[in-house]
Structure 1
């Protein structure tokens, strides 16, 4: 992990927003979270590395991959990505020192996912005879019902697999701080789907509060203290003046919070952990859009579409909006759309109308901003306004 004193930016780029089957305008599920210089992937559907090559996200910056579940549309792109990212067959030029041809990656690329992730990666790399030039490690988020030992495979460690992979056990129904440093943490909880599935919560550490210079400058001038002290105060450090006066830095406030859900028909188990996010990313696989969607069945209603969608383990826009309201989200981004909903840009009036219709359905249950994601859409996650 690149050392960071703080996050200058927190950006989400959608690399794939389709459900089940890709379309000509939507790829399989993948999302890149850019934290200043580092990149973390959430899910890695088929052809994610192609999407990366078409985007502004640098593959060589990827440090972690978080899988929500092991359905193929969320993980079939992981092994090709590893081969490229870790200088295997078809290695990435950016990761190789041209003078020595040696990989510049020192610490293992970290992969997080449910039970079976380690077996999937190990078997896939072994039986495709994939050789990697740099290491990786797999951490599994284990449920109480999962076996305490074993990795769902009898194969030994792949030659590039670090033996330091953890089996992370739940504590009171959640996986708290599966990763944490001085700047950001990641926690997780199960969400309900047709297969074991995880939602992730990314929380920035507390940040300096808003500073009123007029509260400090007179004291600095009176004691002939260099104005550079203002920078220390802004970073949250108290300053003691020559006459013994202590200038207290503004109280720190909560950093940015991002909730990224996998496929779900009910994310209730993560609700407490997910409270008050600046951005919630929630699937909206199917919608009832009479008058907009030509494929709408005459016998369908909002209720019948919801029942059918839930039976397949998924959500409607209204369900996503209701959950956003329940947890107090500031913004809601919808993704994981059926292939019948094209992801063209706003120049395509039909596609634009469909997305506006889906957003309006979510807005019936949620009063905040609603965004319908399309491939390569990029969103900056901003801090909540200072409390009054």
Structure 2
């Protein structure tokens, strides 16, 4: 990657909760950072969704982040890995697999997978019992909760090529800080409350160069006959002393973009501090009370009843998502993970009215822009001023 992110793009592959429909697939989305693609969750048929999108299915997929191990969030990971890692079936001895000879793999960076306890065991067992041999390396890092074992693979199956040993990452002060970090972006995570152990991820672009005003610098550079390449160094925030003793300071860096991508949750409070001032919050809105809009609403239904039922199953309403967006001062809210009763065919008036009503419920609690996600929706996340 270059030293700045020229583009940050979100492409949604699945917006369904539990049961897919003709218009909604299981949970998955792609975050494209320049030329790299990171996936967040990988429900059933994710690779089919990718094939129908502008996202390339191949070596550009560098990382996969799993929020929790419910099937609608992880059942698509093995076939996708087989596609990305040149998988093949059969009984071949992996030690003799020509695709895995050191001359062909030593320079290949592994596909990195992050998820809670059980992610590694699921992948290892699935590939072992389906006799799937991957032709490129991968590694699974697990985010361990305090109640989890601190070490070990949590599976009786041994590690076999091309899997490489992964980290078991313990919490510090209740969160997993900087589980990945390079010169451009960092990823941190925190537990969020669901019916099973679940994780939310925060992707933060590191501070970027501030805007430079050439008029402040060019007279000094001309007087000292300094090369114009000096301007590039100043743009990067450096301080430079010129031959006449003048010291020029580059503009201070400004915060980069922050994206908060939550898994299923009825209360994401533990991630609040990491998520503050997000440019984009992606939050589930599984159930909604829509009298007069949703024809399946029963006479005795109330918002309080819908919220209580949703919470008891580990999920949120649009109002709950909106309230959290307000709490963290998010600049934009993207709702996803909708109940199968909310069909979004993009054409019928009923579907349009229902999704607009869901959006309106979130706006009761949050005064920023709210968007209801649709499968294949794709948009750029712009830098804020």
Q: Deviations over 1:180-215 (max 9, x none)?
A: 111111000000000000000001111011222222
**Contact 2:105/2:137 (8 A) holds in 1:** no
List alignment gaps of at least 5 residues for structure 1. Answer: 91-96
Q: Deviations over 1:264-320 (max 9, x none)?
A: 000011111111111000000011111211111111111111111111100000000
From the superposition, tell whether residues 104 and 35 of structure 1 become closer, same or farther in structure 2 (CA, over 3 Å): farther
Deviation at 1:59, TM superposition (A): 1.6
Superposition map of 1:216-295 within 5 A: 216-295=217-296
**Contact 1:87/1:103 (8 A) holds in 2:** no
Residue 381 of structure 2 corresponds to residue 381 of structure 1: yes
How far, CA to CA, are the matches of 2:190 and 2:2 in structure 1? 26
**Contact 1:105/1:134 (8 A) holds in 2:** no
List alignment gaps of at least 5 residues for structure 2. Answer: 90-98
Taking structure 2 as the reference length, the TM-score comes to 0.93
Aligned pairs, number: 371
Per the alignment, residue 368 of structure 2 pairs with: 368
Per the alignment, residue 96 of structure 2 pairs with: none
Q: Deviations over 1:60-117 (max 9, x none)?
A: 1100000000000000000000111000139xxxxxx9xxxx7898111011000011
How far, CA to CA, are the matches of 1:239 and 1:348 in structure 2? 62
SS across alignment from 1:271: helix
How far, CA to CA, are the matches of 1:235 and 1:4 in structure 2? 13
Deviation at 1:223, TM superposition (A): 3.0
Deviation at 1:256, TM superposition (A): 0.7
**Contact 2:289/2:297 (8 A) holds in 1:** yes
Q: Deviations over 1:26-56 (max 9, x none)?
A: 1000010000000000000000000000011
Deviation at 1:152, TM superposition (A): 2.6
Per the alignment, residue 167 of structure 2 pairs with: 166
From the superposition, tell whether residues 103 and 161 of structure 1 become closer, same or farther in structure 2 (CA, over 3 Å): closer
How far, CA to CA, are the matches of 1:178 and 1:115 in structure 2? 15
Deviation at 1:240, TM superposition (A): 2.8
Alignment counterpart, residue 107 of structure 1, candidates 106, 109, 112: 109
**Contact 1:28/1:73 (8 A) holds in 2:** yes
Per the alignment, residue 13 of structure 2 pairs with: 15
CA RMSD of aligned residues (A): 1.7
Per the alignment, residue 181 of structure 1 pairs with: 182
Q: Which moved more, 1:227-236 or 1:293-302?
A: 227-236
SS across alignment from 2:31: strand
Deviation at 1:381, TM superposition (A): 1.3
Per the alignment, residue 93 of structure 1 pairs with: none
Q: Deviations over 1:136-163 (max 9, x none)?
A: 1100000111112332311111332112
Deviation at 1:255, TM superposition (A): 0.9
How far, CA to CA, are the matches of 1:181 and 1:130 in structure 2? 32
Deviation at 1:369, TM superposition (A): 0.8
SS across alignment from 1:242: coil
